[in-house]
């Protein structure tokens, strides 16, 4: 009963933050134009790039054909839009500007720390981006006659891929809560890797392939879901997802515990 | 009475430079990221295109044409935007040029990183057997720097009209990454298709300058830099025009 009440309270808080974001977006309409033009740049830019690299769409990059590559770019764009929607994109600015004091502000309130941290940065304007990208995905799905089985596999792996992205981005946030300003270079490092998530990285040489799958698992964010859309479900992938998500979750849990303990030990 | 622009530039540069020295982790992570990033890109594209010249091409772009993964204009614009959010009235009442301060403060912050990054690039290319003309490189670097400042100036001119500039910055950065050759090597693109991109400023700023430096093609380098300077002037005057419009709007509203 108590747990259910907590969930209802959290949901109410999420809706309040979403409502607040909606009001802000209504006030600053330029944000909607930004969201629209950012998605337009992706929708026009990526096909041009892949068109050039596959020599007018006639060639393929190993196992990746022109429409596979467009699909991959759009999947990553959707993941980025969702990240911005849930406030994870802007969280760096808050953490950098306020340092570890951010922990005091949210930890002393009777709601989940992360929910408050991200909730204040929700941006509903991203729904425009997501809508436009979904239209492109729907077009590819209809045009390529993709079986429903593949679509379901894609949805499942897409959710897992998004979870991995969130957990990866939480690592520097938690490290920042422990080590403060000395870790401010970490987001750049992580974004340096994440920028490959939209490239056909399964074609890299063995060492890099292993590195991008199991050390910094960015291949599972968009590449594996996009492949499953065209090639179908794979039990090996499912197992890998469980393994990677569990490891990342445990790392984050450990870092959060250290951050809270350190914060309490020195009295804030 | 305005502070002498030279003193503003000098003091801002030193302030930025000292801040980077204070946070050494930023330098290490940037260099480490650039090396790892270049290594991964080489591994990926080399496996796909089987082109030996790709290694030198990507090293030139990563270390010489793009010192660091963050374009200069983006850093200047981010810094400028944070100053503007304090309020235009505060910015105007300060006895120095806020944009000049942002440019040199950011340049000071990036200076060490650029020097290390450029030296690393020269070092790697030397071992790969490609020698780059230092004077030609300096000429290209100045052109690139002026081009980036003009973009930052242009983007910042919209701060009188919009509270946030992130969208403009993101769109510009995306075009930058897509068409410069840094993430997607344009060296393999069919020449007939490529003809449409040859006057695109980001392609000139990345791909053409990298190719001309690698081939020691001084004519192509001079031509590319001339195109960049031409774009810089147009973008700068466009920015100046919008800035003037913005200041008029600001004054007519009483701040």
- In this complex, do B189 and A56 lie within 8 Å of one another by their Cβ atoms? no
- How far apart (Å, rounded) are the C-alpha atoms in residues B24 and B31? 11
Question: Could you tell me the pLDDT band of residue A248, with boundaries at 50, 70 and 90?
Answer: very high
Mean pLDDT of chain B: 84
Domain layout of chain B by residue ranges? 5-252
B73's enclosing H/E stretch is helix B72-84
- In this complex, do A184 and B26 lie within 8 Å of one another by their Cβ atoms? yes
Residue A173 Cα, gap to closest chain B Cα (Å): 16
The predicted model scores a pTM of 0.87
- How far apart (Å, rounded) are the C-alpha atoms in residues B71 and B148? 8
Question: Could you tell me the pLDDT band of residue A58, with boundaries at 50, 70 and 90?
Answer: confident
| Residue that the structure tokens 């968009």 belong to | A222
A178-193 tens-digit pLDDT: 887 677 777 777 877 8
Are A222 and A79 in contact by the 8 Å Cβ rule? The answer is yes
Find the closest chain B residue to A198 by CA distance.
Answer: B183
- Which residues of chain B, if any, have pLDDT below 70? 1-2, 68-70, 84-92, 253-255
Are A100 and A263 in contact by the 8 Å Cβ rule? The answer is yes
Q: For residue B42, what are the CA distances in angstroms to A200, B59, B95?
A: 13, 9, 49
Cα torsion A101, A107, A111, A114: sign: positive
Find the closest chain B residue to A64 by CA distance.
Answer: B48
Residue of B43, B178, B186 with shortest CB distance to A205: B43
The answer on pLDDT for A209 being more than 80 is yes
Comparing CA positions, the residue from B167, B126, B147 lying closest to residue B208 is: B147
- How far apart (Å, rounded) are the C-alpha atoms in residues B209 and A104? 50
ipTM higher than threshold 0.90: no
Which residues of chain A have a CB within 8 Å of the CB of B27? 185
The answer on pLDDT for A220 being more than 90 is yes
Residue of B162, B178, B193 with shortest CB distance to A45: B178
- For A24-58, letters b (16+ CB in 10 Å) and e give ebeeeebbbebbeebbebbbebbbebbbbbbeebe
Mean pLDDT of chain A: 85
Residue A3 Cα, gap to closest chain B Cα (Å): 39
Residue A5 Cα, gap to closest chain B Cα (Å): 38
Is B188 touching A (CB cutoff 8 A)? yes
- How far apart (Å, rounded) are the C-alpha atoms in residues B1 and B38? 48
- In this complex, do B32 and A200 lie within 8 Å of one another by their Cβ atoms? no
Domain layout of chain A by residue ranges? 2-265
């Amino acid at each position: 009963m108590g747990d259910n009440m907590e969930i209802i309270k959290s949901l109410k808080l999420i809706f309040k933050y979403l409502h607040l974001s909606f009001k802000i977006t209504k006030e600053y309409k330029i944000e909607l134009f930004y969201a629209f033009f950012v998605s337009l740049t992706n929708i026009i830019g990526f096909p041009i790039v892949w068109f050039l690299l596959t020599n007018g769409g006639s060639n393929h990059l190993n196992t990746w054909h022109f429409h596979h590559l467009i699909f991959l770019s759009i999947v990553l764009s959707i993941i980025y839009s969702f990240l911005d929607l849930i406030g994870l994109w802007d969280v760096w600015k808050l953490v950098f500007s306020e340092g570890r004091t951010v922990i005091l502000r949210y930890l002393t309130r009777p709601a989940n720390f992360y929910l408050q941290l991200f909730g204040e940065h929700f941006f509903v304007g991203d729904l425009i981006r997501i809508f436009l990208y979904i239209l492109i995905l729907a077009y590819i799905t209809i045009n390529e006659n993709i079986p429903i089985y593949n679509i379901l596999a894609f949805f499942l792996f897409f959710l897992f891929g998004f979870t991995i992205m969130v957990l990866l981005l939480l690592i520097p946030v938690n490290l920042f809560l422990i080590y403060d300003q000395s870790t401010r270079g970490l987001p750049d490092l992580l974004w340096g890797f994440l920028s490959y998530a939209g490239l056909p990285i399964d074609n890299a040489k063995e060492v890099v392939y292993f590195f991008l799958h199991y050390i910094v698992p960015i291949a599972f964010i968009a590449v594996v879901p996009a492949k499953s859309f065209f090639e179908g479900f794979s039990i090996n992938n499912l197992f890998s997802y469980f393994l990677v998500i569990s490891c990342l979750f445990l790392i984050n849990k450990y870092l959060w515990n250290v951050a809270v303990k350190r914060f309490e030990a020195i009295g804030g | 009475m305005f502070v002498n622009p030279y003193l503003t530039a000098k003091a801002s540069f030193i302030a930025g430079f000292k801040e980077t020295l204070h946070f050494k982790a930023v330098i290490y992570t940037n260099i480490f990221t650039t090396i790892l990033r270049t290594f991964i890109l080489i591994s990926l594209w080399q496996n796909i295109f089987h082109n030996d010249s790709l290694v030198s091409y990507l090293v030139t772009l990563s270390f010489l044409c793009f010192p660091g993964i963050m374009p200069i204009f983006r850093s200047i614009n981010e810094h400028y935007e944070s100053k503007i959010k304090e309020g235009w009235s505060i910015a105007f009442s300060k006895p120095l040029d806020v944009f000049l301060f942002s440019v040199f403060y950011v340049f000071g912050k990036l200076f060490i990183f650029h020097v290390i990054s450029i030296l690393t690039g020269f070092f790697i290319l030397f071992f790969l057997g490609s020698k780059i003309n230092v004077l030609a490189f300096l000429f290209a670097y100045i052109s690139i720097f002026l081009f980036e400042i003009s973009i930052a100036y242009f983007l910042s001119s919209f701060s009188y009209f919009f509270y946030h500039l992130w969208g403009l910055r993101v769109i510009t950065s995306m075009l930058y990454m897509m068409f410069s050759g840094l993430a997607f090597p344009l060296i393999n693109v069919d020449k007939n298709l490529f003809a449409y991109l040859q006057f695109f400023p980001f392609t000139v700023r990345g791909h053409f300058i990298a190719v001309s430096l690698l081939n020691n093609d001084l004519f192509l380098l001079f031509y590319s830099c001339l195109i960049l300077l031409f774009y810089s002037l147009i973008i700068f005057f466009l920015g100046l025009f919008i800035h003037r419009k913005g200041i008029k709007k600001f004054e007519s509203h009483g701040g």
